[in-house]
Amino acid sequence: MYFAFRPGFSIYKKGEGPVFIVPHSGPALGGEGRDDGADRVASFCFEKMNGSLLISNMPRDPFYGIDLNRDIPPKQEALSMWKKIQMNPNAISKAYLSKYAWVAKSDADYNKKKKIYSNFWSSAKSSGNIFVIIHRKFALLKNYPSIMDFITFNGIGIDKKVLKKIIGIANKKYNLFFRKIAKNFQLEIINREQQILSSLELKQSSLADVKKKYSWILSKEVNIIKKNAEKKYFEEMRSNFTKNNFLRAVKNTMKNIGSPKITVERIFSGSVSFAPKRFILKGNPIVLQIESDAFINEYYPKKGAEIILYILKTIDKYKKYKTAGMQKAVYDFLSS
Ligand SMILES: [Zn+2]
């Protein structure tokens, strides 16, 4: 096996195979966390399938490190954002964070960061033509039933209809596993919802404040509760929104909601994955981006890798049928 520790990332290579990329696996410094366990899932994929593995080892926070998923900032913006942060560490805007990869204190600093960023993505691009980019999402009711969400980049990374068929097959194959872990996954969700509300409470937020701060999650969650909970729990929560009434409704929802599943663009579309779009999508490769749940990354990373590999192999079979011109076989294969 070849391996190299380059500034900002590590790269491992072993024979021919897919390129597994984890852009957010670095240490958690500053405001941004890390994609816990996504690196473990990727390393098991690499062990089983060979190919290449690229792991970031910088914080994704644009002050302490580089967010490898975002775009190259215009130099002036990177320099002026650095100055603003010096006056007030909270000055960095959401808009900047969702668009750009770093801030810079000088021209030299800017150029150094740009070089690390470009090296990471050009090393990835030159390593193969099937790419699997792995991230971490959280166990939240709003994301249910997704335990792994696959992103196609508007069908450019892979035909969305084909992927949906293949994910359907994988959901059947792993149905028993998903049923076995359903209860614990749901408990993880309940615990996380409770924790978010409790930490807001500790900040002595008023209920109106809690609703406002929590609304990015809450609006979607309320819809899921409405669809799945018994009416009385939904009504209780709606007429009197307290933490307890909300959690009672969440718990009741879980009783009726079924097992988790692998999904296609249920939560994410890849719209802020500027770097893969700029560097990886060109030239018609296969690109899968996966938001793998922290739950599966932490407790079942080998199973997570097995599922990804099964999907990759099924895509490969489909490609072979297709290049052989066996249209009927493709149809039978996807419909079986
Ligand atoms: Zn990520």
Residues 264 and 251 in one domain: no
The amino acid at residue 110 is Y
Using the mean position of ligand 1's atoms as its centre, give its distance from the Cα of residue 216 in Å.
Answer: 18
| pLDDT of 220 | 83
CA distance 291 to 138: 9
* Amino acid of residue 268: F
Tell me the CA–centroid distance for residue 38 and ligand 1, in Å: 9
What is the distance in A from the centroid of ligand 1 to the CA of 115? 21
User: Ligand 1 centroid vs 24 CA: distance in angstroms?
Assistant: 5
- For the chain, how long is the longest CA-to-CA vector? 65
**Cα–ligand 1 centroid distance for 32 (angstroms):** 10
Q: Which residue has the higher pLDDT, 256 or 2?
A: 2
Which of 305, 296, 263, 35 lies closest to 188 in space, CA to CA?
Answer: 296
Q: Does 301 sit behind a cis peptide bond, omega within 30 degrees of 0 on the bond before it?
A: no
Q: Is the pLDDT of residue 215 over 70?
A: no
Last residue of a domain, one of 215, 236, 256: 256
Pairing of strands 9-14, 51-56: antiparallel
Cα 254 to ligand 1 centroid, rounded to whole Å: 27
Q: Could you report the per-residue pLDDT of 10-48, keeping only the tens digit for each?
A: 999 999 999 999 999 999 998 889 999 999 999 999 999
Alpha carbon distance 61, 90 (integer Å): 12
User: How large a percentage of the chain has pLDDT more than 90?
Assistant: 74
H-helix segments, 27-136: 38-49, 75-87, 94-99, 107-125
pLDDT for the residue numbered 239: 85
| CA 291 – CA 147 distance, rounded (Å) | 8
Please give the distance, rounded to the nearest whole angstrom, from the Cα atom of residue 259 to the centre of ligand 1.
25
> Are residues 90 and 120 located together in one domain of the fold?
yes
C-alpha 265 to ligand 1 mean position (Å): 15
Residue 216 is predicted with a pLDDT of: 65
How many angstroms is it from 56 CA to the middle of ligand 1?
Answer: 11
Ligand 1 centre to CA of 289 (Å) is 10
Same domain (yes/no): 152, 284 = yes
Tokens describing residue 18:
């897919």
CA–centroid distance, residue 144 to ligand 1 (Å): 19
| pLDDT for 282 beyond 70 | yes
CA 125 to centroid of ligand 1, rounded, Å:
18
Residues 170 and 197 in one domain: no
Over range 125-135, report the average pLDDT: 96
Higher-confidence residue of 315 and 209: namely: 315
Here the tokens at position 20 are 């597994």
> What's the pLDDT tens digit per position in 79-109?
999 999 988 878 888 899 999 999 999 999 9
| Judgement on whether residues 208 and 151 belong to the same structural domain of the protein | no
Query: What 3-state DSSP class applies to 9?
Result: strand
Q: What is the pLDDT of residue 307?
A: 98
How far away, in angstroms, is 68 Cα from ligand 1 center? 9
Cβ burial 91-113 (10 Å sphere, 16+ → b, else e) = ebeeebbeebbbbbeeeeebeeb
SS3 content of the chain, % helix, strand, coil (to 5): 55, 15, 30
Q: Order of strands, edge to edge, in the sheet holding 130-137? A: 2-6, 9-14, 51-56, 19-22, 130-137, 286-293, 146-151, 261-264
> Do 170 and 284 reside in the same domain of the chain?
yes
Separation CA 140–CA 129 (nearest Å): 33
**Residue 218 pLDDT exceeds 90:** no
Gap from CA of 103 to ligand 1 centroid (Å): 19
Could you tell me the distance, in angstroms and rounded to a whole number, from the CA of residue 36 to the centre of ligand 1?
A: 9
| Residue finishing a domain among 222, 241, 256 | 256
Q: Are residues 135 and 283 in the same domain?
A: yes
Q: Which of 222, 256, 290 lies at the terminal end of a domain, its last residue?
A: 256
Q: How many CB atoms sit inside 10 A of residue 269's CB?
A: 13
Query: From the CA of 7, how far away is ligand 1's center (Å)?
Result: 19
Q: Do 94 and 16 have their domain in common?
A: yes
Domain count, the chain: 2
Q: Which helix (H) or strand (E) holds 167?
A: helix 160-173
pTM here is 0.92
Question: How far, in Å, from the CA of 121 to the mean position of ligand 1?
Answer: 15
User: Which CATH number belongs to the domain containing residue 53 in this structure?
Assistant: 3.40.630.40
Residue 19 parent element (H or E): strand 19-22
- For residue 207, the model assigns a pLDDT of 64
pLDDT > 90? residue 68 = yes
Residue 208, domain extent: 182-256
206 in the same domain as 193: yes
What is d(CA 53, CA 17) in angstroms, rounded to the nearest whole number?
10
Q: Which residues contact 206 (CB under 8 A, 6 or more apart)?
A: none
Residues 6+ apart with CB under 8 A from 156: 281, 287
pLDDT at residue 322 is higher than 80 = no
Report how far ligand 1's centroid is from the alpha carbon of 250 (Å).
27
What does the pLDDT average to over 107-132? 97
316 and 205 in one domain? no
| Same domain? 290 vs 318 | yes
Residue % of the chain over a pLDDT of 70? 92
For residues 269 and 213, membership in a common domain is answered with: no
Ligand 1 center–CA 204 separation, angstroms: 30
Summarised one tens digit per residue, pLDDT across range 69-81 is 999 999 999 999 9
Mean residue pLDDT of the chain comes to 91
pLDDT at 145 over 90: yes
Q: What is the reported pLDDT for 113?
A: 98
